[in-house]
Amino acid sequence: MARERILVVEDEEDIQELIRYNLAKEGFQVEIVASGEDALARASASLPNLVLLDLMLPGLDGLEVCKNLKNNPKSAHVPIVMLTAKSEESDIVLGLELGADDYITKPFSPKVLIARVRASLRRKRQEAPPETAVLRLGELVIDPGKHSVTVKGEEIDLTATEFGVLHFLARKPGWVFTRQQIVDNVKGEDYAVTDRSVDVQMVGLRRKLGACGEYIETIRGVGYRFREQ
């Protein structure tokens, strides 16, 4: 079986070697470039299975690389995991909205790096279930056809927007979504389009779900995700 190939876009040599060593040790093929321009050229010549992308690059920065890759039909399906400094929350949000799949903040643990890469590859291999499919996630059951949600067999009374938010997140466990992505995908009459209103909806949704409310995780400064079961 062919090893999965990771294209690493990073201009700092010590970080390059740290990433190369740990990914190679786990059996991945690793290819490293130091600029955004080289990243686009390499991806065009031979598509990788995943791109590990630093945001702060000389010349073409990581956000532009992400935008280019996601706007190209040939590379749009390739997962992108961003490498960011902790102070770049606004760039993380923008990168996710441009189509990046996940992010890792610097400095990072090699174990976290490997886990995030494996999770992104796994999610890419697993197609999201059809929108009409019944989702069974731990003690939570979401039935889009009946527009019903049950926890431990008991039906939960949700508004149309709360149901839409829950269903949207639950169809892709582990994926991080920004507040704006949630707004864009779930629009209801009771849904005011502000970051604050998203947070308010999440508080109400978690309260109604009881113990299963813990399945919805807050990603500070970024948005929300449904925990992988």
The pLDDT of residue 34 = 95
Q: Using the predicted structure, report yes or no on whether residue 127 has a pLDDT greater than 80.
A: no
The verdict on 139 and 199 lying in the same domain is yes
- Record the tokens describing residue 92, joined without a space: 């993380």
State the average pLDDT over residues 179-198: 73
Q: Percentage of the chain surpassing pLDDT 90?
A: 66
Q: Which residues form the domain of 54?
A: 5-125
Select from 125, 159, 179 the last residue of a domain: 125
Q: Using the predicted structure, report yes or no on whether residue 137 has a pLDDT greater than 70.
A: yes
**Is 161 among the domain residues?**
yes
The pLDDT of residue 87 = 65
Distance CA 98, CA 175 (A): 14
pLDDT confidence bin for 211, thresholds 50/70/90:
very high
The verdict on 48 and 107 lying in the same domain is yes
State the average pLDDT over residues 85-91: 76
pLDDT confidence bin for 88, thresholds 50/70/90:
confident
State the average pLDDT over residues 129-143: 89
The helix (H) or strand (E) run that includes residue 181 is helix 179-185
* Angle at alpha carbon of residue 121, lines to 115 and 123, rounded to 5°: 100
Read off the pLDDT of residues 41-63 as tens digits, 9 standing for 90 and up.
Answer: 999 999 999 999 999 998 899 99
**Cβ atoms within 10 Å, residue 215:** 21
Q: Rounded mean pLDDT of the chain?
A: 89
The verdict on 102 and 198 lying in the same domain is no
The pLDDT of residue 1 = 43
What's 142's domain CATH number? 1.10.10.10
The verdict on 188 and 145 lying in the same domain is yes
What's 33's domain CATH number? 3.40.50.2300
The verdict on 160 and 222 lying in the same domain is yes
- Record the tokens describing residue 193, joined without a space: 């389009």
pLDDT confidence bin for 68, thresholds 50/70/90:
very high
The pLDDT of residue 81 = 96
Contacts of 171 (CB under 8 A, 6+ apart): 128, 129, 131, 135
State the average pLDDT over residues 87-114: 89
- As to burial, measured by CB atoms within 10 angstroms (0-12 exposed, 13-18 middle, 19+ buried), residue 84 is buried
- As to burial, measured by CB atoms within 10 angstroms (0-12 exposed, 13-18 middle, 19+ buried), residue 128 is exposed
Nearest to 162 by CA among 126, 206, 125: 206
Q: Using the predicted structure, report yes or no on whether residue 86 has a pLDDT greater than 70.
A: no
**Is 189 among the domain residues?**
yes
Select from 125, 154, 185 the last residue of a domain: 125
**Is 130 among the domain residues?**
no
The verdict on 108 and 152 lying in the same domain is no
Helix-helix angle 13-25:110-125, to 10 degrees: 60
The verdict on 116 and 164 lying in the same domain is no
Question: What total number of domains does the chain contain?
Answer: 2
The pLDDT of residue 190 = 53
**Is 158 among the domain residues?**
yes
Distance CA 170, CA 216 (A): 9
Query: Is the peptide bond prior to 144 cis by the omega test (within 30 degrees of 0)?
Result: no
